[in-house]
Amino acid sequence: MIKITGSDKNFNQLKNHIKYISRDESLDVFINDPSSGGDIFCSKNLDETAAFFQDGIYNIPSKKDIEEDQNLKEKNEVLHMVFSMKGENNIPVDDIKNAAMKTIKEKFPNNLFILAIHNDTDNPHCHLDLKTVDCNGNRIKIAPVDLDDLRNEFAKNLTELGYKATNFSRKQKEFARDKYPDPWDGHKPHHYKITGYGKAKYNFSLEEHVEESYYVKFETRKGKETILWGKHLEKLMEQYNITNGDWARFTVTDQEAVVKKIYDKKTKQWYEKTVYKNVWDCSVEGKREVELKPLSESEKKKSEYKILGEEKSQASNITLQSQTINKRQNKNGVSKARALQNTQKTDKIQSSDSKETAVKKHDFQR
């Protein structure tokens, strides 16, 4: 089976995806560079692997380049593909890798691609990132008919390695539905197969300021890989012993209010911010089968803000006013005391002068 799971529209997204498929630079990444004659290189280094995509003929623009240059527009620069063999889990993953690389090299001989093997799940598979601009500067597009051709070639290459592989078209699937049971039949609605989980920076970001979170990866009925992010998920995974291969449903059933106080320097006011974080719950086939009642979008609460400190500010104003009045009173009191002292001094001087005058008159009379 071959499926296109996504694309990179700038160089930053490409590096994030390389980090993901290399399991944070812990797995070997195989590099097919057509400009070097189709030699296969192997690397675990993120920057070294990403540098192969900037060949000088066409360099994938960064997010900043697109934002600053109005002539640049977002395009599918790199396609994400997954190669696997459902129903034949005994196939060595190296054979899946060899068949996948041969398929892409035959179909797109002038395009650079990288490949990483994931064999830590019940369904071993290979992630392949294909650069859409080849070494001649031509851009490719994969139409549905091209994807069907790739599946035929992949099945053919696996058959040559000694494995029974067939590409079923939609009509063939309808014809063979009864003969080949759908692996999804018998499973509870909205329950999907867990294919990976763990801790990482949100969205596998390379930015240092991004906080670490918890993710759960699963495969939908249409074969699409989906990743959920949330710290509540880790508790559920541990509490109900959920692991790869389990069929589970995760949904938001409640919200948790988190209150924070924020001070705005411009308005000089305190605010109370209430954030409602999603609370997840799960149902697991064979372990914890429960009916979940997910919150609708209309039921989910949004962040709220409340102004604090109005009474405090009034009280502080009253305090300041009283302090000002006291200061004025103190100043007035000091002034009055000083005036009284000066008056007393004047009275003393005047009384002493009158005594001296009386003495002089007495002497004069004598």
One-character DSSP codes across 313-334: HHHHHHHHHHHHHHHHHHHHHH
Whole-number pLDDT of residue 74: 92
139 secondary structure, DSSP code: B
Give the residue among 9, 34, 58, 205 at the shortest CA–CA distance from 114: 34
In angstroms, the CA 93 to CA 123 distance is 10
One-character DSSP codes across 236-303: HHHHTT--TT-EEEEEEEEEEEEEEEEEETTTTEEEEEEEEEEEEEEEETTTB-----PPPTTTSPPP
In angstroms, the CA 267 to CA 255 distance is 31
- Tell me how many helices (H) and strands (E) the chain has: 8, 12
Low-confidence ranges of the chain (pLDDT < 50): 171, 311-325, 327, 329, 331, 334, 337, 346, 348-366
Half-sphere exposure of residue 65: CA atoms within 13 angstroms, side-chain side: 11
Half-sphere exposure of residue 34: CA atoms within 13 angstroms, side-chain side: 19
Mean pLDDT taken over the chain: 81
Element (H, E) at 306: strand 304-308
Contact indicator for 106, 228 with CB cutoff of 8 Å: no
Whole-number pLDDT of residue 366: 37
0.85 exceeded by the pTM? Answer: no
Tell me whether strands 192-201 and 2-8 are parallel, antiparallel or unpaired: unpaired
Domain spans, the chain: 2-175, 192-308
CA-only gyration radius of the chain, Å: 39
Contact indicator for 8, 78 with CB cutoff of 8 Å: yes
Contact indicator for 280, 250 with CB cutoff of 8 Å: yes
Q: What is the pLDDT of residues 239-255, one digit of tens each?
A: 999 999 999 999 999 99
Whole-number pLDDT of residue 362: 42
Whole-number pLDDT of residue 68: 93
CA distance between the termini of the chain:
143
Whole-number pLDDT of residue 217: 93
Whole-number pLDDT of residue 168: 63
> Residue 219 forms beta bridges with which residues?
193, 225
The CATH-assigned architecture of domain 2-175 is 2-Layer Sandwich (3.30)
Element (H, E) at 347: helix 310-365
